[in-house]
A and B are shown apart, each in its own frame.
Chain A
Amino acid sequence: MTVARSNTLGACTPTGWRRPAAAFIFFGALTAALVVLNIGIGSIAFSPADILQTLIAPESGTTMSAIIWKIRIPRAIAAVLGGAFLAVSGLLLQVYFRNPIVGPFILGISSGATVMVSFVMLTTLTVGMTVISPFMTTLAAFIGAYGVMLIIVAVAYRVKSGITLLIIGLMMGYLCHAVTSILTALAEKEKIKGFVLWELGSFSGFKWSEISILLVCGGLILLLVYLLSKPLNAFLLGETYAASMGVNIRRFRILILLCACALAGMITSMAGPVAFVGLAVPHMARLVFQTSDNRILIPGVCLMGALVASLCDFIARMLLSPVELPLSAITAFFGAPIVIGLLMKRRVEL
């Protein structure tokens, strides 16, 4: 690692607090600015004064109020939460597998969710349901995510090599994709469109009910994850050392995976598979905060995730407005070069 440490504090203080504090303030402001932009700018232009008016005193019934309160604000919040959850999920998986190139998307968790969602979205009519309830999609995504996770964990017990694990994750992704494409081929036309749109990934169309689920459940999970930051730090040395320092490995393992899957599963079920946020953001956060200490990194990753997702969503909406670009494409354009660059320079290891 060639990163120069800018630790200006005395030898007694292991982690400098100035850099993280400055980074939190800077990137926090940036994220807030992006959220404001996401609310303020869209394919239909409103004047800032009007928007402010609508925000302060929402009048029900007007188009503008509906657009702001039912479309833009939920979407901006969804982007923030989605980015944060996916990034924390990625961080947890990277620590768990002690491998820098894992993330919820790479390990096939998103693919697992996709398969199950495709079962629900493409085959419900044949089963006899007329309305696809969002609850069904969410549940399916969860089952899919956990299913793939279980397989990956079972394999990871036997395979220690990170590359092997990665390849197995990719293969799981292919298998899921194969199932999905067969289902697509067999499905009716009208359904395919909805599914394809879901599969592209987007933070649009979030309802307030979904936002509140994300806020409450996700918030609780994030709190739990933060409380796990001490054993997570111990886990950086590997399972055996962590156990020798008093970490209850079995309980801790289950907790990490449950949290990582729940976070990624929640977002995938509602927003569709979003690539690279979970993989790239933890690396960006490590670079920015210059630490692997999870007590700083967990909030840091939340912030950076929110920032990246908001930015990507903004680009997806505005680049070719009014046509909306698939979110995963934008995050991949962002994430893939970053990851490649990081790995080539070997500036970040895990």
Chain B
Amino acid sequence: MDNNNTRKNPVLSCRSLAVGYKDKTVLSDINLSFAPGQFISLLGPNGAGKTTLLRTLSRHLNPLAGDIAVSGRPLDDISPIELARFMAVVLTEKVTPPLFTVFEFVALGRYPHTDFLGRMGPHDYETVQRALASVHAEDLGRRAFSDLSDGERQKALVARALAQEPQLLLLDEPTLHLDLKHRMEVMTILRSLCHSQGVSVVASLHDVDVAAKVSDRVALIKDGGMTAWGMPETVLSGPVVADLYDFSDARFSTRLGGIEFAGNGHKGRIFVTAGAGTGALVYRMLVKRGFAISTGVLYTNDVDYFVARSLGADCTARPPMTPVSQGALAEAEEKLDACDAVIDCGLDDGGGPMSQGNLKLLQAALKKGKPVLSLSEGGIEKIGHAGPAACWISCRDASDLVKALNKVLDRRVAANQNKQEAMSEMARNSAKEA
């Protein structure tokens, strides 16, 4: 496997590969191929077959059909030692080697390079130190492996793989069980391996948002095959991700690069006036608490617009750099009419078209006697006492807002009940009279 060869050939390529077990095909017709130094993510729901695919690529399982070539050579033609010098793995399987220091553990990775008794030369010691340094774990060297935390252990596992000096690193769920800090650290380490050391990384990942941000290529694994393969920028769209994981109440937003959780809106509908990012948090909070939202008027380049859309809000939006037209306002007002309450996120763009529009909508809401909860600095004076002052509730922050909102809605429910009771009494009375 000389360098020339490596440069010409893809690091790994599969042609109509089928993987699985004797009596069960897990994935079939997989075609992929990639160049050195790339980060490849395998995405898919649990049990889709990511691990099976990885185990086949690392030759722990025999392929059921198709070919795998490593650096242009068929996988079967490569001796175990030769393969170990080219490819290393990090598995989810828990390892608990007894009485090992981290250094000794990482040094086990020198296996394919040392003599028949595993004696280490100066170069081997250096490589182990370098491997520890690549995962920022130089200081762990003398600790007992069994005393490590999950995050430290994962780093040690990656270091052990690196001690093999591989050109290809296969990782199964490298961020499983890790906290956010270690998750980010491991991903950063892996990415820098690709970019600065030219190692190719294939990892099965759970976080779509992280995968989208670090990968050069993603493979989507679902329903017994690879449903998509390519750059995350082209492959990962909202519907594709939702379909991949079968989620109906959450959405992946390509532009926001994350997942938004849509609610079922059983608690009623709220109209929100927002803009320039003032609404995003309020939208998420409302949806989380079971409200449906309507909002407007937003420009289509506003982050509020993307958040609202991925939360499933009913949006009135217009292209940017245009005045907010009467038509748009009328449309928004119609939506407002159907809502139980209005929240003003306190956008102040210095009298620009958007805050002007918001102002008009708030005035309309007050006139109709809708409760308006405002996060803005100015009180009801801001909109010139357009309606009953009792309808205007100033809130300091989000927690204030939630309390006020609950109070308002409780009152409305009570009022509704009274109304219903009165109606039914009237009905009974009229029935008696009849």
Query: CA–CA, A29 to B129, complex, Å?
Result: 38
Query: What is the chain A residue whose CB lies nearest that of B125?
Result: A12
B146 neighbours in A (Cβ, 8 Å): 1, 349
Tell which of B60, B88, B144 touches A1, judged by Cβ atoms closer than 8 Å: B144
A204 neighbours in B (Cβ, 8 Å): none
Q: Give per-residue flags for B35-75: 1 if the beta carbon is below 8 A from chain A beta carbons, else 0.
A: 00000000000000000000100111000000000000000
Judging by beta carbons under 8 Å apart, are B84 and A244 in contact? yes
State whether the Cβ of A53 lies closer than 8 Å to any Cβ in chain B: no
Query: CA–CA, A304 to B58, complex, Å?
Result: 40
B58 neighbours in A (Cβ, 8 Å): 244
Query: CA–CA, A266 to B101, complex, Å?
Result: 36
Judging by beta carbons under 8 Å apart, are B93 and A14 in contact? no
State whether the Cβ of B100 lies closer than 8 Å to any Cβ in chain A: yes
Query: CA–CA, A175 to B60, complex, Å?
Result: 36
Judging by beta carbons under 8 Å apart, are A1 and B103 in contact? no
Minimum Cβ distance to chain A for residue B51 (Å): 11
A-B contact count (CB 8 A): 100
Judging by beta carbons under 8 Å apart, are B97 and A295 in contact? no
Judging by beta carbons under 8 Å apart, are B93 and A240 in contact? yes
Judging by beta carbons under 8 Å apart, are B98 and A295 in contact? no
Query: CA–CA, A248 to B85, complex, Å?
Result: 14
State whether the Cβ of B99 lies closer than 8 Å to any Cβ in chain A: yes
Interface residues on A, range: 20 to 34
State whether the Cβ of A15 lies closer than 8 Å to any Cβ in chain B: yes
Q: Give per-residue flags for A229-255: 1 if the beta carbon is below 8 A from chain B beta carbons, else 0.
A: 110011011101101111110000000
Tell which of B81, B85, B108, B142 touches A233, judged by Cβ atoms closer than 8 Å: B108
Interface residues on B, range: 35 or more
Within 8 A of A (CB), among B395-432: none
State whether the Cβ of B87 lies closer than 8 Å to any Cβ in chain A: yes
Minimum Cβ distance to chain B for residue A97 (Å): 14
Judging by beta carbons under 8 Å apart, are A227 and B116 in contact? yes
A11 neighbours in B (Cβ, 8 Å): 103, 141-142
Judging by beta carbons under 8 Å apart, are B108 and A234 in contact? yes
State whether the Cβ of A159 lies closer than 8 Å to any Cβ in chain B: no
Minimum Cβ distance to chain B for residue A16 (Å): 10
Minimum Cβ distance to chain B for residue A251 (Å): 10
Given contacts A237-B95, A244-B60, contact A230 B114 (CB under 8 A): yes
A15 neighbours in B (Cβ, 8 Å): 104
B215 neighbours in A (Cβ, 8 Å): none
B81 neighbours in A (Cβ, 8 Å): 246
State whether the Cβ of A293 lies closer than 8 Å to any Cβ in chain B: yes
Q: Sorted from nearest, which 4 A-B pairs have the closest CB atoms? A: A246-B84, A230-B118, A245-B111, A246-B81
Q: Which residues of B contact A (CB under 8 A)?
A: 55, 58-60, 79-85, 87-89, 91, 93, 95-101, 103-104, 107-109, 111-112, 114, 116-118, 120, 125, 129, 141-142, 144, 146-147, 164
